């Protein structure tokens, strides 16, 4: 059967997962004999293909009339029908392709499995089709290509073009052909994840695990993402099952014993999972064996895949638990790299010689936990200090260039722990500083070693490390409570002000309106931009109470969809419907994020773990911040920023005052404007603060002098 362009494009079966679409692009300006020879060979090979009944042979006829093309093809088909060794009655379907526009060519190319190369081809059509992106075969090669390979190639091509639904259709077609290749499942899993089709995503993971029960990567993805999406008991069950199937995989021991929720449904859950973690850590330590090379390697691999990141969001003193875990990490690292755990003597420092300071991080790029570090380096007094930076990640950007520019020596060594260690040792540093420990597993591993005589951590991740190899925690005097040392295994150093020199962000002019985000001008917009795990359930009532007193309130969440069920309960408790007040936006672009800050009325800080980077950017946008300082430094960031600014009227002493301030800001635009103007006039007090750098360098010099004295006394 020969169909036309119109029928091909409109045919509901076109693009059907059971179709294999093969295209040829003949140059019809050649002699009829040449054209017929090529076409006859192609049709014969396609008809003889094992899956010929699923193949549609698409023939470009854009540079010949439809009648002429039909006449030539009819003659070829008649010749094949009359030949003794050809049976075209059950063969492929043939479709003519004529005069497509650019959009139709694009649609077409996304559904083409393969192109068969002819002796002479239409070059213009090759360009329109973007034929370089389509697998091409000679006539002889095509006869040996399986349908599976054709479908797989197209699925991957659609995947690369981010045409997720179309790619899913092809991968499912492969499964229908009774193929159960693990890579097919992985591609399907990734497609579902990109489309946020969570039910399908988890279903596919479970199916793959049934077929590949000892594939660790499948189990790991399942457990981590179940936890991420609030399905904590399923995650724990998954970890326990993985432990049964792979008892020697230390990764799943960690997950079995130390998994805690990313968000909590109620306050009682916090106590429950705290107790579970405490007992689980004891079990993990007891069941950690480092006697054989295999045990050492497995334990090293496990701690290289995970951190205990979510523990600190329970809003309790983590010093003891962190110390237990930090000691475990250190012992595992010592077992694998005994040459890098012994105490190091201070490198000799000759007169006029500079103190060598190293900074090592996975995040020496645009990242909230390290962006402030550019200020330390920018204002460094290089006549006294030589700066070494070690970038262990691999997402370089403009901020990476700043780190490189501000360093005397810059090493980019991605994902190679031994090479990083060797380089740091070779550079013979006096002091090594980790801007953060706890966000990245490899950084935690590095920090469990002794690579410099003095090792420090800063508050890029504002929690004690518990590592016996970290000597000092560099914090800020405005951030810490009076009893702060009780929260740290390291010796706490209080640098001036907030301890870091944060560069003032560039804030663009307002180029969007509220309507661009489906928000009304009369709304009182309260920005709630923190990650969902910063919102603890015992504070949900605060939003409902604000809404009860500010009828026009709109709480704009940028990452908080996991909180919806909790918020529904909290608002219902005061007779309100949370859907009337809570707005959940997806803001993928930084420009839109800044626009939301500029268009909002009030920034609501989170209790127990306040905003850091987000609060600093809100201040740069002159957005009034309501905050209430917590017990630990991680709950006092915004408090310290506002104190350094001298804008303290929106700092609450307790939950009731927090609500009062938020309500007053919402109902009193004059006061709100006054607060914003105060912030605007005092940016210079907060951003690019050099006092902390002076304090930092005084600390560095003091530490090196102390080491010198100790060496002399020995």
152 in a structural domain: no
Q: Does the CA dihedral 501-505-506-507 come out positive or negative?
A: negative
Residue 53 to residue 302: CA distance in whole angstroms: 50
Could you give the percent of the chain with pLDDT greater than 90? Answer: 71
pLDDT band, very low/low/confident/very high, at 8 (cuts 50, 70, 90): very low
The CATH number of residue 98's host domain is 3.40.50
Number of separate helices (H) and strands (E) present in the chain: 29, 18
**Span 62-72, average pLDDT:** 81
Residue 416, pLDDT score: 96
Domain boundary among 339, 368, 392: 339
- How far apart CA 233 and CA 236 sit, in angstroms, is 5
- At residue 85, the pLDDT reads 57
- My answer on whether 261 and 301 are in the same domain is yes
Q: How far apart are CA 69 and CA 96, in angstroms?
A: 8
Q: Where are the alpha helices (DSSP H) in 304-353?
A: 319-336
Whether the per-residue pLDDT at 454 is higher than 50: the answer is yes
Same domain, 564 and 645: yes
Residue 243 and residue 48: Cα distance in Å, rounded?
50
Of the candidates 475, 472, 504, the one whose C-alpha atom is nearest the C-alpha of residue 490 is 472
Mean pLDDT, range 572-594, rounded to an integer:
94
CATH of the domain at 584: 3.40.50.2000
Distances (CA, A) of 574 to 539, 563, 656, 658, 686: 14, 17, 16, 18, 39
* Residue count (the chain): 714
The pLDDT confidence band at residue 16, using thresholds 50, 70 and 90, is very low
pLDDT in tens, 150-195: 888 888 888 988 989 989 998 998 898 877 889 999 999 999 999 9
Residue 439 lies in a domain: yes
* pLDDT, mean over the chain: 91
User: Which two three-digit tokens encode residue 229?
Assistant: 């999406």
CATH number at residue 485: 3.40.50.11380
Q: For 19-33, what is the mean pLDDT?
A: 85
Are residues 429 and 565 part of one domain? no
Phi and psi at 554, nearest 5°, equal -135, 120
Please tell me whether residues 333 and 370 are part of one structural domain: no
For the beta carbon of residue 675, count every other beta carbon within 10 angstroms: 21
On whether residue 287 sits in a domain, the answer given is yes
Please check whether residue 157 lies inside any domain of the structure: no
Give me the domain span that covers residue 603: 521-686
| Same-domain pairing of 538 and 641 | yes
Q: Determine, yes or no, domain membership for 705.
A: no
Cβ 447 vs Cβ 470: under 8 Å: yes
Q: Which of 25-29, 61-65, 217-221, 430-434 has the lowest mean pLDDT?
A: 61-65
DSSP class of residue 185 equals: H
Report how far residue 516's alpha carbon sits from residue 684's, in angstroms, rounded to the nearest whole number.
32
pLDDT surpasses 80 at 100: no
Six token digits for residue 37: 């020879």
pLDDT, position 713: 55
Query: Tens digit of pLDDT for each residue in 317-348?
Result: 999 999 999 999 999 999 999 999 998 887 87
Q: Are residues 175 and 317 in the same domain?
A: yes
The verdict on 381 and 470 lying in the same domain is yes
Other CB atoms within a 10 A radius of the CB of residue 229 amount to: 17
In the predicted structure, residue 545 carries a pLDDT above the cut 50: yes
Q: Which of 98, 115, 145 is the last residue of a domain?
A: 145
- The predicted-structure confidence for 38-58, as pLDDT tens digits, reads as follows 888 888 888 888 777 778 888
210 vs 180, 207, 217, 618, CA distance in Å?
11, 5, 13, 48
pLDDT, mean of residues 629-650: 97
The verdict on residue 25 lying in a domain is yes
Is the same domain home to 61 and 125? yes
Q: Is residue 427 part of a domain?
A: yes
Q: What is the pLDDT of residue 255?
A: 97
Q: What is the pLDDT of residue 91?
A: 62
Q: Is residue 344 included in any domain, yes or no? A: no
| Phi-psi map region of 438: left, alpha, beta (phi>0 left; psi -120 to 50 alpha) | left
* Whole-structure pTM value: 0.87
Kindly tell me if the per-residue pLDDT of 412 is higher than 90: yes
Tell me the per-residue pLDDT of 255-309, one tens digit each, with 9 for 90 and over: 999 999 999 999 999 999 999 999 999 999 999 999 999 999 999 999 999 999 9
Domain-terminating residue out of 98, 114, 145: 145
pLDDT, mean of residues 210-223 = 96
Domains in the chain: how many in total?
4
The residues near 227 (Cβ < 8 Å, ≥ 6 apart) are 235, 259, 261, 262, 310
How far is Cα 158 from Cα 170, in angstroms, rounded to an integer? 9
DSSP 347: P
Looking at 64-68, 85-89, 618-622, 678-682, which range is the least confident one?
A: 85-89
Based on the domain organization, do 93 and 130 belong to the same domain? Answer: yes
Separation between Cα atoms, residue 690 and residue 393, nearest integer Å: 28
Kindly tell me if the per-residue pLDDT of 109 is higher than 80.
no
Average pLDDT over residues 528-533: 94
Mean pLDDT of 578-584: 96
Residues 486 and 392 in one domain: yes
**What integer pLDDT is reported at residue 94 of this predicted model?**
83
What's the confidence (pLDDT) of residue 89? Answer: 54
Statement to judge: residues 285 and 322 lie in one domain: yes
* Residues 419 and 335 both lie in one domain: no
Q: How many CB atoms lie within 10 A of CB 301?
A: 16
């Amino acid at each position: 059967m020969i169909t036309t362009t119109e029928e091909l494009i409109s045919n509901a079966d076109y693009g059907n997962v059971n179709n294999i679409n093969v295209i040829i692009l003949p140059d019809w300006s050649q002699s009829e004999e040449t054209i017929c020879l090529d076409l006859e060979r192609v049709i014969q090979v396609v008809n003889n293909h094992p899956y010929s009944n699923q193949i549609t042979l698409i023939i470009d006829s854009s540079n010949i009339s439809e009648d002429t093309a039909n006449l030539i093809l009819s003659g070829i088909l008649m010749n094949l029908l009359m030949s003794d060794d050809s049976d075209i009655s059950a063969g492929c379907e043939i479709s003519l392709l004529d005069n497509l526009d650019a959009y139709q060519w694009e649609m077409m190319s996304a559904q083409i499995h393969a192109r068969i190369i002819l002796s002479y081809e239409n070059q213009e059509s090759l360009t329109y089709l973007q034929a370089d992106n389509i697998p091409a075969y000679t006539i002889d090669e095509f006869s040996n290509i399986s349908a599976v390979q054709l479908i797989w190639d197209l699925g991957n091509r659609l995947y690369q073009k981010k045409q997720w639904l179309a790619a899913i259709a092809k991968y499912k077609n492969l499964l229908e052909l009774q193929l159960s290749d693990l890579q097919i499942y992985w591609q399907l899993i990734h497609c579902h994840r990109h489309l946020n089709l969570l039910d399908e995503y988890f279903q596919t993971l479970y199916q793959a695990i049934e077929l590949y029960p000892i594939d660790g990567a499948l189990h790991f993805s399942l457990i981590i993402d179940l936890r991420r999406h609030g399905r904590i008991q399923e995650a724990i069950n998954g970890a326990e099952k993985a432990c049964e199937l792979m008892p020697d995989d230390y990764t799943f021991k960690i997950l079995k014993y130390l998994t805690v929720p990313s968000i909590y449904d109620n306050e009682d859950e916090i106590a429950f999972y705290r107790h579970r973690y405490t007992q689980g850590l004891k079990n993990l330590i007891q069941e950690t064996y480092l006697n054989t090379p295999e045990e050492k390697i497995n334990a090293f691999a496990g701690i290289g895949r995970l951190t205990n990141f979510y523990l600190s969001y329970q809003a309790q003193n983590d010093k003891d638990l962190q110390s237990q875990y930090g000691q475990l990490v250190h012992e595992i690292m010592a077992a694998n790299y005994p040459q890098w755990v012994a105490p190091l003597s201070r490198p000799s420092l000759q007169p006029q010689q500079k103190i060598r300071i190293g900074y090592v991080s996975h995040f020496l790029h645009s990242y909230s936990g390290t962006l402030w570090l550019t200020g330390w380096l920018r204002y460094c007094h290089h006549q006294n200090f030589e700066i070494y930076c070690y970038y262990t990640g691999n997402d370089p950007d403009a901020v990476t260039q700043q780190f490189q520019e501000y360093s005397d020596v810059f090493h980019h060594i991605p994902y190679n722990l031994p090479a990083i260690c060797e380089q740091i040792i070779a550079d013979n540093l006096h002091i090594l500083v980790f801007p953060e420990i706890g966000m990245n597993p490899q950084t935690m591993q590095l920090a469990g070693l002794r690579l410099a005589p003095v090792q420090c951590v800063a508050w890029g991740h504002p929690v004690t490390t518990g590592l016996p190899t970290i000597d000092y925690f560099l914090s800020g005097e405005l951030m810490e409570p009076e009893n702060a040392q009780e929260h740290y295994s390291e010796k706490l150093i209080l640098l001036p002000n907030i301890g870091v020199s944060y560069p003032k962000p560039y804030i663009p002019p307002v180029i969007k309106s509220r309507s661009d985000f489906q928000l009304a001008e009369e709304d009182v917009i309260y920005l709630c931009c923190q990650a969902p795990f910063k919102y603890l359930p015992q504070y949900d009532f605060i939003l409902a109470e604000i809404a009860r007193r500010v009828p026009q309130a709109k709480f704009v969440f940028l990452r908080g969809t996991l909180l919806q069920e909790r918020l529904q309960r909290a608002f219902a408790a005061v007779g309100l419907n949370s859907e009337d007040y809570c707005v959940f936006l997806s803001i993928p672009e930084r420009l839109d994020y800044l626009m939301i800050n500029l268009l909002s009325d009030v920034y609501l800080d989170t209790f127990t773990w306040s905003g850091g980077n987000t609060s600093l950017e809100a201040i740069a946008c002159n957005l009034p911040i309501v905050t209430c300082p917590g017990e630990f430094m991680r709950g006092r960031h915004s408090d310290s920023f506002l104190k350094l600014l001298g804008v303290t009227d929106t700092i609450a002493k307790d939950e009731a005052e927090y609500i009062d301030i938020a309500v007053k800001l919402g109902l009193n635009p004059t006061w709100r404007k006054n607060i914003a103007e105060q912030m605007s006039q005092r940016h210079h007090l907060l951003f690019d603060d050099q006092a902390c750098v002076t304090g930092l360098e005084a600390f560095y010099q003091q530490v090196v002098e102390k080491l010198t004295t100790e060496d002399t006394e020995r």
